[in-house]
Amino acid sequence: MGKPSDLLQGTLDLLILKTLSIEGRHGWAIAKRIQQISGEVLQVQQGSLYPALHRLEQQGWIKAKWAESETGRQAKFYSLTAAGRRQLDSETTQWARLSDAINLVVQES
Amino acid sequence: MRWLHKLFIQCQMLIHRGRAGRQLQDELQFHLEQQIAENEAAGMGTEEARRAALRSFGNPTTLRDQTRDTWSWQGLELFLVDVRFGIRALVRTPGFSALAILVMGLGIGANVALFTVVHSVLLKPLPFKDQGRLVRLYEANSKGAFQDNVLAGGTFASWQAQAQSFEGIAVNKGIEYNLSGSAGQLPELAHAQQASWNLFPLLGVDAALGRVFLPSDDRRDANPTVILNWGLWKRRYGGDPAIIGKTILLDARPFTVIGVLPAWFNYPDPKVQLWTPIYHERSPEVMSMHTAHNLDAVARLRPGVTIDQATAELNTIQRQIRRQFPDGPVHDAANIRPILDAEVFRLKTGLYAMFAATGCLLLIACLNIANLLVARAATRRKETAVRTALGGSRARLIRGQVIESLVLCVAGGVIGLAFAETALRWLVHMRQDIPRADSIHIDGPVVLFTMGVMLVCGLIAGLIPALSSNDKHILRTLHESSRSYTSAQGGLRLRRVLLGLQVGLTVVLLTASGLLLKTYNRLRSADIGCATHDVLTMEINLPKGSYKTPEQIVTFYEQLVDRVRQLPGATAVAVATVLPGEGHQRDDVFTIREHPALPKGQVHDASTYFADPGYFNAMQIPLLQGRLFQADERLDHSNEVIVNQDFVRQFLKSENPLGKHIKVDVEVPGADAGLEIVGVVADTLEDASGAPNPAIYYPFYSGTQRSATLVIRTTQAPSAMALPAQQAIAGIDPGLAVANVLTMDQILGQSTIGASFDATLLLAFAVISLLLAAVGLFGVLSYIVAQRTAEIGIRIALGAQRTQVMRLMLRDGLQPALSGLLLGLIASAGVAQLIQSMLYGTSALDPAVYILVSATLLVTAVLACALPAWRASRLDPMTALRLE
């Protein structure tokens, strides 16, 4: 449908890892944060956010614990593991290479 | 490490799947609440905020499922769903399921039981340190005639001194001691072993209490010492540790108890109660002779030495010994067997044949289940087609069917395990002649085997029907309304092939059991040459301590025979050392005085027994020539012998045997000068499956034998004589123990128990598989009839005769049975060659057996097909056509 919120395949993982690298958050906060930082360009749909979070957890890149949220309700907080940090580094490098490459192609014409 | 972490997380997920599901729900709910809160903060009304949040949230169920998909246990969940589905499908047809589970249970149970026996008896290592290097040594004949002869004392000494291949060689010899009673205990005849001192260190066994023998105990002039087995110590001495150092009486001689063996130790068999040092118990003369063979030898190979190398070395030594002693029964070669093999090699063929039979049975059971499942698959073709049309993948459908059959097999396996446990208890009870029977247990490997069998059976029984139902013709299946008589040909052909295989296997089982049954009958009816009914026997062993002279021995037995003869019901009473059917016990080498000396290196050899004057009459062994022993031929006046017919045939040909003299090295007085042959009696058999062999009867009243068997022929039930006879014995010597009170029938029964057992068991398997095959035939033909109802209706309506219809249907049903029969007969001929060594007096291609098997199978097949075929011929054409 060409909405700006459509994310390039695989980049959601990178965004989540990056968001969590600063501090642990719960799912809603992660989505909000990505939206905010990207200047409302990137809209993370719940339909992709939660499967991604659970997949990353299974991979052992992020870990979760239940804690009290700012509103006083129990919420699931995700944070980065050491393996996740390494993963973030490698995905960042990869992303940089990819976007550079795309930029080169796009700007050439 | 990361995979470990992942595994940990996944396991947690598996265990807490339920909780994780609730948490996910909670997490998503929280997100929703946050969104609503935000919307409200942005100024929407409560209801509007909620709706907007839900809208942006999408379908919560889909979201939940998508998230759950990332969990690694999705496959498992689907599997569990399939299992639940399979169980539901099976519960809907309880009759079919119960039958299938029972069939699988029988098949798996029989296999597990036999596997347990094979595993525990043939495969499980003996519990000795480094048992791979333990071997049994035998004297052998270089021409291959005798391979497993026990060792002579002199041979043992030579091997021990010269052989370099072994870390050590030890010997032991079974014997019975009269263990005297003390403080009111009954005397008992104790199974014992005499052993060289190094046997225990060689096996790597230490005493549980006290110590084992030292070299200084194992000498003629040492103080008498004894080691008790754990069982005897617990049973007779109350497990009192103070027994060490105490004195017990064996054959009325004092022995000091120096040790108790550990509870697990049951070498060479669990009946052994105590051990004495062999060089103390046996004279130096006997222990240095090369001709008296009576020792079991065990050795430990040096690391790196193979059995072949060691055999070659012993052969060289033994050839030299033979050169030194060219006369007499001295062997010229050696044979070595791994210790476990030595214990069980006689059982191997029988057990493996049984195991193969249970394997066949299980395969038949699997084929039967597969067959039934094919039928079910056919009735569920519509369901399958609908599921396929709705997008059910072929893999998922196949998986469903396999899981269904797996559920059947697992249930069958559980029942089978219980069944095997019962069967094993029965088997151990029935077959006490099996060595290591005490080690037969269902243990870890057996359970693993059971699980493996369940899996394989489930796969076989499930995959055959699953793969046969292909989904290429969904449309046709869906189009087909009910004109189904041309359909399902593929399934039908498959069922016929399965049935043919099943019949073939059944024929093999039937033939094998038929051959074994015939063997057993031959053995049973083999005439061993003496009275076998109404004869009671019991063993008596006079202790050395109180019966020192031949006079004492002869007086005792004469008195005993006299007293027992007066008991009401006793028609004839006698004593002898070995009875027919008790196997080979003793043989002596001899020369005939009247003949020229034999060429160097050749000897005459005959079985030897001691018998009293009344023996031949009591056992009804006919006298053919000359006379029997007489009552006054006793002690020093007993230098006569009686020989059997085979002896005359082999050594005297056409000469007159009477008056010839036998020179033999035996305890009987005057034996070296020659014992005169005074009579010839008919042959008896030592072993029901053997041929007669030359035999010499020495006079029992020469008084040289302390152990003998009392024989009583009776007019009433022989077992009723047991108590009065024992009372008569106690009346002469109250301290005397009696052993093995058996009727002659029982003695013979023991010698054929293996054959009878194998035959009975195999027959049971064969009958079960015949039943299964019949059920299969019945099922297939009923199915064909149901499928072709309309066609048959048309045929009848067009004027076909009832008999024609019946013939048509019978042909359809009998076709797989006939091809199976042919297949089975060919396979049987091959299998029969494999069990040739178990057959006696029966050819592997015995025509009677094959004909009987074929007839049985055909009759069963006709019976199984008759009902459905008859039903087809009775069809009312109108009803049949209206069914459309």
Domain-located, residue A49: yes
- pLDDT tens digit string along B249-278? 888 889 999 999 998 888 887 788 999 999
As a whole number, mean pLDDT of residues B289-299 equals 87
As a whole number, mean pLDDT of residues B136-146 equals 81
pLDDT for B475 equals 58
Closest C-alpha to B850, from B822, B819, B813 = B822
Write out chain B residues lying below 8 Å of A31, CB-based.
31
Placement of tokens 């052969």 in the chain: B315
CA distance B79 to chain A (A): 21
pLDDT for B642 equals 94
Domain-located, residue A16: yes
Name the percent of chain B lying above pLDDT 70. Answer: 92
- pLDDT tens digit string along B423-452? 888 888 877 777 777 778 888 889 999 999
Residue B472 confidence class, pLDDT cut points 50, 70, 90:
low
DSSP characters over B264-316 = T---S-TT--EEEEHHHHS-HHHHH-SS-EEEEEEEEEPTT--HHHHHHHHHH
Write out chain B residues lying below 8 Å of A73, CB-based.
30, 33
Q: Domain of A91? A: 11-108
Is B811 or B317 the better-scoring residue by pLDDT? B317
Alpha-carbon span B321 to B161, nearest angstrom: 13
Domain-located, residue A1: no
Identity of the residue in B23, B33, B57 whose CB atom sits nearest the CB atom of A46: B57
Q: Helices B394-430 and B381-389, interaxial angle, to 10°? A: 140
As a whole number, mean pLDDT of residues B356-382 equals 81
pLDDT for A6 equals 47
As a whole number, mean pLDDT of residues B445-466 equals 88
Q: Under an 8 A CB cutoff, do A60 and B70 touch?
A: no
Residue B297 confidence class, pLDDT cut points 50, 70, 90:
very high
- Interface A-B, measured as beta-carbon pairs within 8 A, has a size of 66
Domain-located, residue A92: yes
Domain-located, residue A54: yes
pLDDT for B274 equals 93
Three-state DSSP at B478 gives: helix
Name the percent of chain B lying above pLDDT 90. Answer: 23
Identity of the residue in B6, B9, B67 whose CB atom sits nearest the CB atom of A51: B67
| B72 interface with A at CB cutoff 8 Å | yes
pLDDT for B353 equals 84
- pLDDT tens digit string along B52-91? 888 777 777 777 777 776 665 666 777 788 888 888 888 8
Chain A positions contacting chain B at CB under 8 Å are: 26-28, 31, 45-47, 50-51, 54-55, 57-60, 66, 69, 71, 73-76, 83
Alpha-carbon span B634 to B552, nearest angstrom: 12
**Which contiguous run of DSSP H or E holds residue B332?**
none
Q: Which two tokens stand for residue B32?
A: 């929703």
The identity of residue A34, as a single letter, is I
Residues B276/B217, Cβ–Cβ less than 8 Å = no
**Which contiguous run of DSSP H or E holds residue B305?**
none
pLDDT for B774 equals 84
| B28 interface with A at CB cutoff 8 Å | yes
Q: Under an 8 A CB cutoff, do A51 and B62 touch?
A: no
Q: Is the pLDDT of residue B617 over 80?
A: yes
- pLDDT tens digit string along B583-602? 888 888 888 888 887 776 66
Residue B710 confidence class, pLDDT cut points 50, 70, 90:
very high
Domain-located, residue A78: yes
Domain-located, residue A88: yes
Candidates B27, B61, B68: best to mutate against A (most CBs of A within 10 A) is: B27
Residue B141 confidence class, pLDDT cut points 50, 70, 90:
confident
Identity of the residue in A28, A51, A60 whose CB atom sits nearest the CB atom of B66: A51
Alpha-carbon span A101 to B467, nearest angstrom: 50
| B65 interface with A at CB cutoff 8 Å | no
Residue B800 confidence class, pLDDT cut points 50, 70, 90:
confident
In the DSSP assignment, the letter for residue B403 is: H
Write out chain B residues lying below 8 Å of A28, CB-based.
30-31, 34-35
Closest C-alpha to B112, from B434, B460, B358 = B358
pLDDT for B181 equals 67
Alpha-carbon span B172 to B126, nearest angstrom: 17
pLDDT for A1 equals 34
Q: Under an 8 A CB cutoff, do B34 and A50 touch?
A: no
Q: Under an 8 A CB cutoff, do A58 and B62 touch?
A: no
Q: Under an 8 A CB cutoff, do A58 and B9 touch?
A: yes
As a whole number, mean pLDDT of residues B379-405 equals 76
Residue B485 confidence class, pLDDT cut points 50, 70, 90:
very low
Candidates B63, B64, B68, B74: best to mutate against A (most CBs of A within 10 A) is: B63
- pLDDT tens digit string along A27-78? 888 888 888 888 888 888 777 888 888 888 888 888 888 888 877 888 888 9
- pLDDT tens digit string along A78-107? 998 888 899 899 889 988 998 888 888 888
Counted domains in chain A: 1
Q: Under an 8 A CB cutoff, do B28 and A51 touch?
A: no
Residue B183 confidence class, pLDDT cut points 50, 70, 90:
low
Alpha-carbon span A55 to A61, nearest angstrom: 9
Q: Under an 8 A CB cutoff, do A28 and B5 touch?
A: no
CA distance A71 to chain B (A): 9
Pairing of strands B274-277, B134-140: unpaired
Identity of the residue in B9, B37, B62 whose CB atom sits nearest the CB atom of A60: B9
Q: Under an 8 A CB cutoff, do B71 and A74 touch?
A: no
Q: Is the pLDDT of residue B235 over 80?
A: yes
Domain-located, residue A76: yes
pLDDT for B677 equals 93
Q: Which two tokens stand for residue A52?
A: 């991604």
pLDDT for B25 equals 82
Residue A2 confidence class, pLDDT cut points 50, 70, 90:
very low
Write out chain B residues lying below 8 Å of A59, CB-based.
6
Is A35 or B488 the better-scoring residue by pLDDT? A35
Pairing of strands A25-26, A74-80: antiparallel
Closest C-alpha to B766, from B688, B692, B831, B700 = B831
Is B775 or B146 the better-scoring residue by pLDDT? B775
Angle subtended at Cα B290 by Cα B288 and Cα B291, rounded to the nearest 5 degrees: 120
Q: Is the pLDDT of residue B819 over 80?
A: yes
Is B172 or B142 the better-scoring residue by pLDDT? B172
| B6 interface with A at CB cutoff 8 Å | yes
pLDDT for B182 equals 66
The identity of residue B599, as a single letter, is P
| B40 interface with A at CB cutoff 8 Å | no
DSSP characters over B37-83 = HHHHHTT--HHHHHHHHHHHH--HHHHHHHHHHHSTTHHHHHHHHHH
CA distance A57 to chain B (A): 8
Name the percent of chain A lying above pLDDT 90. Answer: 5
The dihedrals phi and psi of A19, each to the nearest 5 degrees, come to -60, -40
Write out chain A residues lying below 8 Å of B62, CB-based.
47
Q: Under an 8 A CB cutoff, do B63 and A47 touch?
A: yes
The pTM assigned to this predicted structure is 0.67
pLDDT for A3 equals 40
| B632 interface with A at CB cutoff 8 Å | no
Q: Under an 8 A CB cutoff, do A46 and B58 touch?
A: yes
Write out chain A residues lying below 8 Å of B6, CB-based.
58-60
| B30 interface with A at CB cutoff 8 Å | yes
**In whole numbers, what is the pLDDT of chain B averaged over residues?**
84
pLDDT for B449 equals 92
CATH classification of the domain holding A91: 1.10.10.10
Placement of tokens 């050795």 in the chain: B299
pLDDT for A7 equals 56
Q: Under an 8 A CB cutoff, do A58 and B71 touch?
A: yes
Q: Under an 8 A CB cutoff, do B37 and A28 touch?
A: no
Identity of the residue in A31, A54, A69 whose CB atom sits nearest the CB atom of B71: A54
